Structure 1
Amino acid sequence: MFSKNIKRLGVVVFLLAAVTGCKVGDPYERPDFDVLPEEYHGSLSRLDSIATDSLDSIPMARMKWIEFFGDYDLVSLIDTALINNLDMQRAVQVLEMSRQDLLQARANFYPSLGGGPGYTRDYRGFYHNNYGSNRGRRIHGENPPRSLYTERLSYNIGVSTSWEIGLWGKLRWKKDAARAAYMQNEEFKKAVQTALVAEVASTYYELLRLKSELAVAKRNLSLNENTLKIVELQYDAGEATSLAVRQTKSQKLRFEALIPQIEREYALQENRLNALLGREPQPIEIRGHLDNAAFNGNYNTGVPMELLQNRPDVAASEYELIASNAEVGIAQALKYPTLTIDASMGLDSYQSNRLFSTPAESLFALINGAIFQPIFQQRKLKTNYKKALARRQMAQLDFKEKIIDAVREVSDAMITLDKLEEEYVLTKERLNTTQRGVTDAALLFRSGFANYLEVITAQSDALDSELGLIDIKMQILLANIELYRSLGGGWQ
């Protein structure tokens, strides 16, 4: 009889699930945005036109960061940062927590199981002439006890299970939401890595810039010291005024003051890089030179549609939209009936020594099925559903905004890189002119055909031009890094 009841209940559950187990809610479909152009604004830049003419051009976003940078020292620093950086470690833990949530969502499809021993002791007491129950009267007769007495004593051991049938797709929507949250955190981890790679590279090139500026400042200081010595000799010979000495010395002090200023900035950037590497401040050996730093231009930027797969932050925004769509399905499913099956079985006895001695007499089993249909919940279910719809709409707007920002960032980086290349050519030409001016001014000064003002002016112009060229070279490197990052490169 017991087995027949189980079979009947199983048939009922199967039929109920087959009839009503449809998944409410709409499956996710990517919005058809009209914000993605066919190509980037500024895509006719020198960089992109050269790359697209090459049959061997590599999509920039798909290049591994090791291949993109190529500098051994920089690659070693990035490797260290990816292991020790604290933000990176936190992103890994966040991803692990979301993975556990996904495993939990999958486990919701299975019944829960518990069990263990139990002990029940029911006390009753005297109350006027009426006391206890019929069982109490049979035990104590008409002479009631004057204190509490045991009405019922029970020892039991058993197992119990509870299983919610996934009607209306509620459990499946929960699993979809957990999966989307997991994928979103995975993309978040990629985004952290992309930003970390770009920041380590930018700081590394900042150190190269400061290293070059320091060398330029020291070289110009030495040159100015020689000029000062000549002016002082001329002053001693009565061929120059004290004003010439003071102005030349002022120029020397200006060049000299650049050195501690650059050294201070270098130390701060060094500390910043150490923080990115997840360690305390310490000296970092930088063997490279800014003159040797360059990127291979044999790659292309692709098309804006590829940002949906290449940009981790864009992909994370879409997973947020997928999760919001699943939350709408959950809120909608909560308005329909819920079916729960509870079952338990075990041994029960009034005497502990007979709990296992006669199992046939103490065996018990219970199966219970319940259907719960919410009727009046003070509008909570409807409110939650409407709020879920609004959150989904907000997530769709955020997704659209993220795409627009991504396309704009790529376009900005391409335009910046293209114009910096033009500016670099002009600045380099200016530097050549000012350096020839320094040489000519020095020769004329020694020959008496130029005064000290022309010399120090030529030296000042040459210093400004050389520092300007270093700065533009640095901006070109940073623009390459930003283009690589904005296209989604750095997590491969």
Structure 2
Amino acid sequence: MKAIMTKIFHLMTLGLVVLMLQACGIPELIIKNEDTHLPDSFKPGLSEQENTAKVKWKDFFEDSNLLRLIDIAVANNKEVNIMMQRISVAQNEIQARKGAYLPFVNFGSSASGEKTGDFTRNGAVENNLQITQGQAFPTFLGDYQFGLFSTWEIDIWKKLRNAKQVAVLEYMASKEGKNFLVTNLVAEVAHSYYELLALDNQLENIKQNIAIQQNGLEMVKQLQLFARTTTLAVKRYEAEVAKNQSKKYEILQQITVTENRINFLLGRTPQPIQRASTGFMDIKPKFIKAGIPSHLLQNRPDIRKAELELSAAKLNIEVARANFYPSFGIKAGVGFDAFALKYLINTPESLAAMIAGELVAPLVNKNAIIAEYKNSNAKQIEAAYEYEQSIINAYTEVANQLSNIDNLDKNYHLRKKQVDSLVQSIDVANQLFKSARTDYLDVLLTQRDALEAKKELIETKQKQIIAMVDLYKSLGGGWQ
């Protein structure tokens, strides 16, 4: 008994020495702590507890045609479906790593035959048996066996369990990545849809302008008959009409491209897009409540994804550190083993069992382990910077869109006044031209200015609506 205790003590002492050697060989690394500090508000005087980001996209958008398009895109978009398969892969990785720290049990069987050389140790033994016992030894000695075999790595340092937890965090990060993809998809479909409505209004605007200029052309032709104007005026009007007609086809091409872009986002081949464009200029952008900057940490999928990836990177350092420590494993087996098939299932003579334990620790040339450990640390620092960058980027996007909405609102009201004045000036210019109190160029320039101003007014309305969508997306809305 005393001898057994002495051996156990020696083994424990040896194990302690090995552990000390491993600890001495672990490099010192610096872990970066992430900085999540944000200002108290997006701009002075703005502090709201309510946040529009929590509103579901089906409740945020009111256009039934747009809602139908987004619904199809979320279900059928190819990138979303590709991401879903990546999520499935990440989920399967959890199952794989979970099984890594459980015992492996396998069933196996084997059959072999061996002829030993006469001038070998085993051959000399066989020859001696033949001489002493007078029995011939088989030329080929068989070895037949089957049974259960088990291996189990005992996860003392939590390396395998930490690796499983890393897989869980990466799975959760992939789900947040999918949410962020949906957020961008919803915003992109909305962008393209409102761009399509704006193009329809641009087309209608240029058609109305062409009609006005064609009426002006007929008027100039009539005045030419009475020598009230010259051929130059007629030709200038004809050129202006032709120019605007060519612009009409440019807009028609832009409409086709925008429709096809929407169909691509919806994961289908080109087809007409149902829409209601008549009330576009009357759309009032929603008032969006931005909440406080700290809400971004909970609402933005890209920030939550970066946070989960950072947590996984931190845990990966522990996984890499565990490679410096000894690994403990147990091997066991039970089954039947015999040199001839007729004896294979004889009980208990052919019964065989085995159990063994092993301790393996890296001692010399740990370059690969050290490199992996340093790499895990570098990736943790990288993930921390990416997390901080995602927070700063989110805050900047919201601040930019809040300012953009305010400035676009002022811009729109001023452009509206400009358009109203220019539309009225067209009638004035026509009356003056008829009474020979102004030149035809004044009429043409007035019509051209009115067309351009109305075009810019439509573009400003489009920018207003898109800014509303972008602020909703920047706050973290659109994936629910």
- CA distance in 2: counterparts of 1:96 and 1:462, whole angstroms: 56
Cα shift at 1:163: 0.9
Flag the 1:122–1:434 CA change in 2: closer, same or farther, 3 A.
Answer: same
CA distance in structure 2 between the aligned counterparts of 1:265 and 1:138, rounded to whole angstroms: 97
Which of 393, 412, 427 aligns to 2:415? It is 427
Write the mapping of 1:15-26 to structure 2, written as runs, cut at 5 A.
none
**Structure-2 change in CA distance of 1:107 and 1:35 (3 Å):** same
**Which of 268, 273, 276 is the aligned partner of 2:265?**
276
CA distance in 1, matches of 2:236, 2:312: 70
Residue of structure 1 equivalent to 2:240? 251
Aligned-partner SS, 1:262: helix
1:124–1:149: 8 Å Cα contact kept in structure 2?
no
Match of 2:111 in 1: 119
Q: Are 2:68 and 1:76 equivalent residues in the alignment?
A: yes
Superposition pairs for residues 356-435 of structure 1, below 5 Å? 356=345, 358-435=346-423
Conservation of the 8 A alpha-carbon contact between 2:32 and 2:381: no
Which residue, out of 430, 441, 448, partners 1:460? 448
Overall identity of the aligned pairs, in %: 31
Note if 1:291 corresponds to 2:249: no
The alpha-carbon distance between structure 1 residues 138 and 251, as it changes in their structure 2 partners (threshold 3 A), is same
Q: Is the 8 A contact 2:32 2:384 kept in 1?
A: no
What SS does structure 2 have at the residue aligned with 1:367?
Answer: strand
Q: What residue in structure 2 maps to residue 97 of structure 1? A: 89
Q: 1:277 to 1:367 in 2, by over 3 A?
A: same
Q: Displacement of 1:487 after TM fit?
A: 1.0
* Residue among 465, 472, 483 paired with 2:460: 472
- Post-superposition shift, 1:81? 0.9
Structure 1 residue 350, shift from structure 2 partner: 2.5
Equivalent of 2:129, from 120, 138, 143?
138
For the residues of structure 2 that align with 1:449 and 1:363, how far apart are their CA atoms? 121
The verdict on how the C-alpha distance between 1:136 and 1:283 changes in structure 2, with shifts beyond 3 A counting, is farther
Compute the TM-score of the two structures, normalised by the length of structure 2.
Answer: 0.88
Report the CA distance between 1:136 and its aligned residue. Answer: 4.8
* Bigger mean CA deviation after superposition, 337-346 or 376-385: 376-385
The alignment partner of 1:361 has SS state of coil
For residue 132 of structure 1, give the secondary structure of its aligned residue in structure 2.
helix
Distance (whole Å) between structure 1 residues aligned to residue 121 and residue 298 of structure 2 = 79
Residue aligned with 1:359, SS? coil
Structure 2 equivalent of residue 61 of structure 1 = 53
How far is the alpha carbon of 1:68 from its aligned partner? Answer: 1.0
Distance 1:150 1:317, change over 3 A: farther
Unaligned runs of 5+ in 1: 1-8
CA offset at residue 282 of structure 1? 2.2
Return the alpha-carbon distance in structure 2 between the equivalents of residues 434 and 269 of structure 1.
30
- Aligned partner of 1:109 in structure 2 is 101
The answer to whether the aligner puts 1:168 opposite 2:157 as a matched pair is: yes
The answer to which of 260-269 and 342-351 deviates more is 342-351
Cα distance between partner residues in 2 of 1:70 and 1:219: 29
Please, what TM-score do these two structures have when normalized by structure 1? 0.86
Q: CA deviation at 1:441?
A: 2.0
Q: Is the 8 A contact 1:106 1:175 kept in 2?
A: yes
- Name the SS of the counterpart of 1:365 in structure 2: strand
CA distance in 1: counterparts of 2:86 and 2:65, whole angstroms: 30
Cα distance in structure 1, aligned partners of 2:122 and 2:87: 62
> Which residue identity lines up with residue 366 of structure 1 in the other structure?
M
What are the superposed Cα offsets for residues 432-464 of structure 1, whole Å, 9 maximum, x if unpaired? 111111122223333444432222222111111
Residue 304 of structure 1, CA deviation: 1.3
Q: Could you tell me which amino acid in structure 1 is paired with residue 97 of structure 2?
A: A
User: Residues of 1 paired with 2:306 and 2:52: CA distance?
Assistant: 22
Q: What is the alpha-carbon distance in structure 2 between the residues aligned to residue 323 and residue 150 of structure 1?
A: 60
Structure 2 counterpart of 1:242? 231
The question of whether the paired residues in 2 share the 8 Å contact of 1:136 and 1:151 is answered with: no
**Cross-structure match for 2:22:** none
Pick aligned residue for 1:207 from 192, 196, 206: 196
Amino acid at match of 2:152: W
Secondary structure at 1:340's aligned position in 2?
strand
More off after superposition, 313-322 vs 463-472? 313-322
Deviation of 1:126 (Å): 5.2
Q: Corresponding residue for 1:37?
A: 39
Q: Spell out, residue by residue over 1:294-317, the C-alpha distance to the aligned partner (whole angstroms, 9 max, x if none).
A: 4432x4111111111211111111
Contact 1:343 1:368 (C-alpha < 8 Å) held by counterparts = yes
User: Post-superposition shift, 1:139?
Assistant: 4.6
State the alpha-carbon separation in 1 of the partners of residues 139 and 472 from structure 2.
Answer: 80
For structure 2, which runs of at least 5 residues remain unmatched after alignment?
Answer: 1-7, 20-25
CA distance in 1, matches of 2:148, 2:131: 35
In the TM superposition, 1:188-337 aligns within 5 A as: 188-289=177-278, 290-297=280-287, 299-337=288-326
| Separation of aligned partners in 1, 2:311 and 2:424 | 64
Deviation at 1:153, TM superposition (A): 0.9
Distance in 2 (CA, whole Å) between partners of 1:282 and 1:322 is 45
